[in-house]
Amino acid sequence: MIKTVEWTDDGVRVIDQRKLPHEEVYPLLRTPEEVAEAIRQMVVRGAPAIGVTAAFGLALGVKRSSARTVEELEAEFEAWCRLMGRARPTAVNLFWAIERMRRALTEARRRNLPLPLVREWLIQEAQNIYREDIETNWRMARNGAALIPDPARVLTHCNTGALATAGGMGTALGVVRAAVLMGKRVHVYVDETRPFLQGARLTAWELLKERIPATLITDNMAGYMMYRGLVDCVLVGADRIAANGDVANKIGTYTLAVLAKEHGIPFYVVAPISTLDLSIESGEHIPIEERPAHEVTHINGQPIAPEGIAVANPAFDITPHRYVTAIVTERGIAHPPYRESLSALAVQPDVAHSPADEGIRAEGVSSPEGS
């Protein structure tokens, strides 16, 4: 299994996604500051992976803190939450994970836990977030695989695999993995995904590793592939989904959705409930990250454009809900009208969580999830 991020005794170990596919390097992040920087620099990227890594970063701060009282720890913790929250603006999973860690601290305070147990409580909560992400992806994959015909030619965008999550299945690519495991014959068309090339570098790497048949194309070839009848469905992930079903995802997603509609091809979004932001009415309110110009003007550090040219680099776009055929989540598949179907899924109770940490049980305290 590809391990995107891992909690170790010495810190948070991540695979450096900027070095893939040529080098497999696993730096160890030892402070919340290093974790936030790794998210900002896209060492770790992909909405669920960012959330899990941020939770580990907060747990790391708590573990290493020299605070002598819970109040001191709380003040430090708040500063790390703000630091993490500034790392990247669009993927709501980051803010979801920070809020969940904040709620865990509030609960630990409500129980009057002593400082050592508050530390354990928060480390446990980060590990719960990690484990649940992997389980969630399995459930999404199984739900989504039912939508995939056999045989199928699937077009994907960006990286939505193990690397975009805590590890294991991934979101949209998880659906492909599950369909293949079910014995379906799937061929994946992989959009290279300019400018950061997550498709060419990461998705292609994952698919080759698993021997799933795949063909790499540049983003501007997608329309022609559809025109030739080579695409049966489009599968993408999401970084934030508004209450009306508008989807923020990697730049270029909107183009694919419009093309898919024109060609009568289903356009599926695969995302966990933690990617829903029902506090946001529609896509126009979702903050879109603007990334540095050199990501557009350079490839692999080599300039490809004349110096001094003005550059736009919005990292995400908004796909209006009318282009989205269905949204696959771990709790089921949402169909239009999304305002109703998404809010119904959001209030469903979560399926069983992972077992409580034995260490905490030994102290006579149930884990946050077990409480």
Q: Which residues are near ligand MRU by CB under 6 A?
A: 45-48, 91, 158, 160, 164, 171, 198, 237-239, 249-250, 315
CA 215 to chain CA mean position, Å: 23
Among residues 94 and 118, whose Cβ is nearest to ligand MRU?
94
Note if 357 is an active site residue.
no
CA 127 to chain CA mean position, Å: 16
What is the spatial distance between Cα 92 and Cα 287, in angstroms, rounded to a whole number?
10
Helices and strands in the chain, H and E counts: 13, 16
Among residues 153 and 201, whose Cβ is nearest to ligand MRU?
201
What is the closest distance, in whole angstroms, from the C-beta atom of residue 339 to ligand MRU in the complex? Answer: 22
Among residues 123 and 238, whose Cβ is nearest to ligand MRU?
238
Scanning the structure block, which residue is given the tokens 């995302």?
271
What is the closest distance, in whole angstroms, from the C-beta atom of residue 11 to ligand MRU in the complex? Answer: 22
Scanning the structure block, which residue is given the tokens 């160890």?
28
Among residues 34 and 239, whose Cβ is nearest to ligand MRU?
239
Catalytic residue among 239, 246, 277, 357: 239
Residue with nearest beta carbon to ligand MRU: 237
What is the closest distance, in whole angstroms, from the C-beta atom of residue 113 to ligand MRU in the complex? Answer: 34
C-alpha distances out from residue 283 to 53, 76, 93, 245, 247, Å: 25, 34, 16, 8, 6
108 φ/ψ angles, rounded to the nearest 5 degrees: -60, -40
What is the closest distance, in whole angstroms, from the C-beta atom of residue 87 to ligand MRU in the complex? Answer: 11
What is the closest distance, in whole angstroms, from the C-beta atom of residue 160 to ligand MRU in the complex? Answer: 4
What is the closest distance, in whole angstroms, from the C-beta atom of residue 231 to ligand MRU in the complex? Answer: 18
Tokens found for residue 240 = 């934030």
Among residues 15 and 108, whose Cβ is nearest to ligand MRU?
15
| 198 and 45 Cβ atoms separated by less than 8 Å | yes
Sign of CA dihedral 176, 42, 354, 248: negative
What is the spatial distance between Cα 131 and Cα 135, in angstroms, rounded to a whole number?
6
Among residues 136 and 171, whose Cβ is nearest to ligand MRU?
171
CA contacts within 13 A on the Cβ side of 2:
28
252 φ/ψ angles, rounded to the nearest 5 degrees: 110, -15
164 φ/ψ angles, rounded to the nearest 5 degrees: -90, 0
Catalytic residue numbers, as ranges: 239
